Structure 1
Amino acid sequence: MSVRLIVRTFSELCITGGALIILFVLYVLFWTGVKAAGATEGQIDGLQDRWARGAVSAPAPTVSPASSPTANAPTSAAPAPAAYPDGKAFAMLYIPRLGKGWEWPILENTKVGTLQKGLGHYRGTASLGATGNFAVAGHRRTYGDPFKDFPKLRPGDAVIVTDGTTWFTYRIDKEPYRTVPSDTGVIDPVPRKSGFDGPGRYLTLTTCDPEWGSSHRLIAWAHLDATQPVTDGRPAAFHS
């Protein structure tokens, strides 16, 4: 094989590799955003249509399964948290700090496909407004970049959520906390490292860190500050 052929083959491979890299970057930066925009708009439209028809996605009651008592076990287990319809949007979340038009649907579960359509509610955590920890995950980058500006969150910032009947205004308690993916205690009913010292009505937001990686997680904790019916209009927190 001649030197000229080797050089030409190598050059062609470099061009092909470069083209593939460019296509991949375009997919990550552009096409996932286009897909997310369509999917998210569809979720929002469907959710608002259901609300207009008076259909609200309330969590379904759960009953603990019966079990035979033993000498070392209680006769009944504590009931599990109520669950929203799996994979379905049930609420809208707004964070004024992240932009005037920042709004995202919340769907039930945090599966890969679900987070491509909006934010995901961690199954097994508290329902919206209830005692416990209402925990929500979202992408930092790709699929619309919902939490791109997550590090901008500050104590006192409003996180506003509605289920179509009630506005729930939570307030951030501290700047985002950085941890590792295995630190599941951040979504406990009383989340570890949050500074909360007992049961309450909490909200946890989670996303990846660094911005284009996933080696760590950023966490923001908030407490329920106020509620009001949607018939009273938008909360003042939208303008604070």
Structure 2
Amino acid sequence: MSVRLIVRTFSEFCITVGALIVLFVVYVLFWTGVRAAGAAEDQIGTLRDQWTRGKASASGAPVPSVPAGPSSSPTAAPEPAPAASYRDGKPFAMLYIPRFGKGWEWPVLENTEAGTLQTGIGHYSGTARLGERGNFALAGHRRTYGDPFKDFPKLRPGDAVLLTDGTTWFTYRVDKKPYRTVPSDIGVIDPVPRKSGFDGPGRYLTLTTCEPEWGSSHRLIAWAYLDATQPVTDGRPAAFHS
């Protein structure tokens, strides 16, 4: 085999590999986002249709007299009435984080499996229900599939995290800047999340995503506490503008 043939064959191989790399980058950076946006819109449409028909799987009655602050005593407010279980892989709430932009909204679905996180934000099965005592824990992609938590490091103490189940608005407040840990640190989603600084039972929210931005060797965690609730009939909470 001549040197010229070897060089030409190697050059063609490099061009082919380069083209495949470009296609892969386009898929990761663009196409997964397009698919996620379409899937999320479908989930949002499903939720709104359910709520319009009055058939939403509500997370329970509004929590009355929620005390402001990072923790509350076990008798601070009565528990919501029992409600139907969240349906595996199905949407049950909407999540809004004003810090991430005016139009930022994502559906929340039950479980954190790979397929679920490609269509929205996942709820860790077995953690508290929305608004209930304990730790309502969620996970979302930092990058790819719509980049929902791309701006996660921008979260600051006092930032509002708002959720609705179609009947009630729940306003949580971020307690401190995001915390970096490893994937095996499952204590971050305990009922009283470990290392959160919360010192007793309360109604908490945990947000989790990958760290670094394009990797998964670590996790970023943000903890929040339930600050207020109100019926959806009262309109959007003022926290949307805070």
TM-score when normalising by structure 2: 0.89
Deviation per CA, 1:155-210: give whole Å up to 9, x if none.
00000000000000000000000000000000000000100001000000000000
Aligned partners of 1:83 and 1:154: how far apart in 2? 32
Aligned partners of 1:186 and 1:212: how far apart in 2? 22
Question: Which residue is equivalent to 2:17?
Answer: 17
Deviation per CA, 1:68-107: give whole Å up to 9, x if none.
xxxxxxxxxxxxx974110000000000001000000000
Is residue 91–residue 164 contact of structure 1 (8 Å, CA) maintained in 2?
yes
Question: Which residue is equivalent to 1:234?
Answer: 236
Aligned partner of residue 101 in structure 1, secondary structure: coil
Q: Which has the higher contact order (CA 8 A, sep 6+)?
A: 2
Question: Which residue is equivalent to 2:154?
Answer: 152
- How far 1:55 moved relative to its partner? 1.0
Aligned partner of residue 31 in structure 2, secondary structure: helix
Question: Which residue is equivalent to 2:193?
Answer: 191
Q: Report how many residues are paired.
A: 220
Question: Which residue is equivalent to 2:179?
Answer: 177
Question: Which residue is equivalent to 1:64?
Answer: none
- How far 1:59 moved relative to its partner? 5.6
Aligned partners of 2:232 and 2:25: how far apart in 1? 42
Question: Which residue is equivalent to 1:137?
Answer: 139
Question: Which residue is equivalent to 2:100?
Answer: 98
Question: Which residue is equivalent to 1:67?
Answer: none
Aligned partners of 1:58 and 1:127: how far apart in 2? 10
Residues 1:56 and 2:56 are matched in the alignment: yes
Aligned partner of residue 219 in structure 1, secondary structure: strand
Aligned partners of 1:230 and 1:83: how far apart in 2? 21
Is residue 159–residue 170 contact of structure 1 (8 Å, CA) maintained in 2?
yes
Question: Which residue is equivalent to 2:69?
Answer: none
Aligned partners of 2:108 and 2:188: how far apart in 1? 19
TM-score when normalising by structure 1: 0.90
Aligned partners of 2:235 and 2:58: how far apart in 1? 21
Residues 1:8 and 2:2 are matched in the alignment: no
Q: Alignment partner for residue 220 of structure 1, among 211, 216, 222?
A: 222
Question: Which residue is equivalent to 1:72?
Answer: none
Aligned partner of residue 85 in structure 1, secondary structure: coil
Q: Alignment partner for residue 121 of structure 2, among 97, 107, 119?
A: 119
Aligned partners of 2:182 and 2:86: how far apart in 1? 27
Question: Which residue is equivalent to 1:34?
Answer: 34
Deviation per CA, 1:94-147: give whole Å up to 9, x if none.
000010000000000000000000000000000000000000000000000000
Aligned partners of 1:38 and 1:100: how far apart in 2? 19
Kindly report structure 1 stretches of 4+ aligned residues shifted beyond 4 Å: none
Q: 1:82 to 1:202 in 2, by over 3 A?
A: farther
Aligned partners of 1:2 and 1:82: how far apart in 2? 73
For structure 1, the residue ranges without an aligned partner over 5 or more in a row are 61-80
Aligned partners of 2:238 and 2:212: how far apart in 1? 33
- How far 1:56 moved relative to its partner? 1.6
Seq. identity, %: 83
Is residue 83–residue 123 contact of structure 1 (8 Å, CA) maintained in 2?
no
Aligned partner of residue 25 in structure 2, secondary structure: helix
Deviation per CA, 1:17-74: give whole Å up to 9, x if none.
00000000000000000100110000000100000000121369xxxxxxxxxxxxxx
Aligned partner of residue 147 in structure 1, secondary structure: coil
